[in-house]
Amino acid sequence: MAGGSFASRGTVVTMRVAVTGGIAEGKTTVVRYLAELGFQTASSDQFARECFQEPDVQRQLAKILDSDEPVVPARLRAAIESSSSVRRQVNRVMHPGVVSRIQASKAQFIEVPLLIEACLHPLFDQVWVVTCGPEEQLRRLRERDGTSPVGTLVESQLSSFAKTPFGDVVVRTNLPLETVKRFVWHAAKHAFGLEIARFEG
């Protein structure tokens, strides 16, 4: 499967799909599978990093934090985590740049962790929710972050249980790897109505 390119009998594919889910539930892994299958993919986190570097954004963030430019990412994260007011102000600054990049992107699948929280789902034709279940999510977080307060990380986001009703497709990553890959393959074909063709070279 991997390494193939996709075509729909010469038709330009304009559909845009959001891939969302909770922390450590496998969003990035699913997007990587899709890239391996030949789909164009992108990440809203990358769009946010690009937006963060813009001079006007830096000026506004520095004003919010009452700090010098350039704004230190770690300080910004700490401020967002400790104050809902700061989080709302930062979102107002960053949101337009992220939205404009999503709308301009040619990617067919875009990973958007806070899709529902930020009310970005209307920008997409389909929503895929990636979930592994709460127990597996906590296990993965403990394995990844050790003694970090994993419960706080999970509680800071909308649960996948709450996100699932927004999903046109639900990808369960607590299944065997090959089962997940097979499901992603078939779901992608169905989403785009594709007649698959593999092109070498």
Q: What is the pLDDT of residues 40-71, one digit of tens each?
A: 999 999 999 999 999 999 999 999 999 999 99
* pTM summary value: 0.83
Residue 156's pLDDT is what? 59
Q: Where in the chain is the domain with CATH 3.40.50.300?
A: 1-40+106-201
- Residue 150: pLDDT over 60: no
Helix axes 177-192 and 27-36, enclosed angle (nearest 10): 60
State pLDDT tens for residues 85-117.
998 999 999 999 999 999 999 999 999 999 998
Q: Encode the chain in three state secondary structure.
A: CCCCCCCECCECCCCCEEEEECCCCCHHHHHHHHHHCCCCEEEHHHHHHHHHCCHHHHHHHHHHHCCCCCCCHHHHHHHHHHCHHHHHHHHHHHHHHHHHHHHHCCCCEEECCCCCCCCCHHHCCEEEEEECCHHHHHHHHHHHHCCCCHHHHHHCCCCHHHHHHHCCEEEECCCCHHHHHHHHHHHHHHHHCCCCCCCCC
As a whole number, mean pLDDT of residues 168-186 equals 95
Answer whether 163's CB lies under 8 Å from 20's CB.
yes
Is the pLDDT at 16 greater than 60? The verdict is yes
For residues 51 and 138, which has the higher predicted lDDT (pLDDT)? 51
| pLDDT at position 169 | 96
CATH architecture of 1-40+106-201: 3-Layer(aba) Sandwich (3.40)
Task: Check whether 151 has a pLDDT greater than 90.
Answer: no
72 — pLDDT class (breaks 50, 70, 90) = very high
User: What confidence score (pLDDT) does residue 161 get?
Assistant: 85
Token readout for 69 is: 């430019």
Mean pLDDT within 161-187:
94
Give the orientation angle of helix 73-82 with respect to helix 55-65, to 10 degrees: 50
What pLDDT score was predicted for residue 3?
Answer: 38
